[in-house]
Amino acid sequence: MKFFVDTADIDAIRELNDLGMVDGVTTNPSLILKSGRDILEATKEICDLVEGPVSAEVVAVDFDQMLKEGEHLATIAPNVCVKVPLTWAGLRVCKILTDNGTKVNVTLCFSANQALLAAKAGATYISPFIGRLDDMNIDGMDLIQDIRTIYDNYGFETQILAASIRSANHMKDAALMGADVATAPPAVISKMIDHPLTKNGLDQFVKDAKEAGIKIV
């Protein structure tokens, strides 16, 4: 499973990128707001830092303006992936951009039917929002499983990008369900390493190494 980082915080991206944990980045208007950055500048900087796709989201909801925005975002760098909402206007823009060779991430997916439409429109990625479904007591992972089944049934090449990931368990479950990608905030990726037995075991080894006087170099 590929890891995308769900942030516009360049320092956090750099840190994880140096560890080889970044296959791509996703942003959205809320993350841009949080960063306090200009979307075009921030996207360019992230695209220069990261080799993989960097999702930058349109803000218009009507077709004409959305297409203009998508085409403009696509000029920022070759690894920009234009993010459009799961609406008919978004799917129209998706079809045009993908036909022109631009990667498109269709976002705000909450149903298997929506994912089916996005695949038909040629989306590179579909972003089902796990956490926001969980917030409504609907199991977001069931949606990932349904989309996986549907895409596999028909050989759709659209990649499932599990989004709105809120916990390390979400990462594990997305991997078990066969999501192609999961995008998570840096704090969630950092948490994935935690296990109390690792910490306790290491504390003991450090103590014993000291007592044994072990010196390697």
Contacts with ligand E4P by CB under 6 A lie at 6, 26, 28, 107, 127, 129, 131-132, 163-164, 183
Residue 215 falls in the annotated catalytic set? no
The residue number whose beta carbon is nearest to ligand E4P equals 164
Residues 170, 32: Cα–Cα separation, whole Å: 23
Q: Is the dihedral of CA 6, 12, 14, 18 positive or negative?
A: negative
Which of 2, 34, 83, 210 is catalytic? The answer is 83
Q: By C-beta, is 163 or 171 nearer to ligand E4P? A: 163
- Please spell the DSSP secondary structure of 99-158, one letter per residue: HTT-EEEEEEE-SHHHHHHHHHTT-SEEEEBHHHHHTTT--HHHHHHHHHHHHHHHT--P
Least Å distance, CB 2 to ligand E4P, is: 13
Least Å distance, CB 130 to ligand E4P, is: 8
Q: By C-beta, is 13 or 205 nearer to ligand E4P? A: 13
131 backbone φψ class: left, alpha, beta (φ>0; ψ -120 to 50): alpha
Least Å distance, CB 30 to ligand E4P, is: 6
Show which residues are catalytic. 83
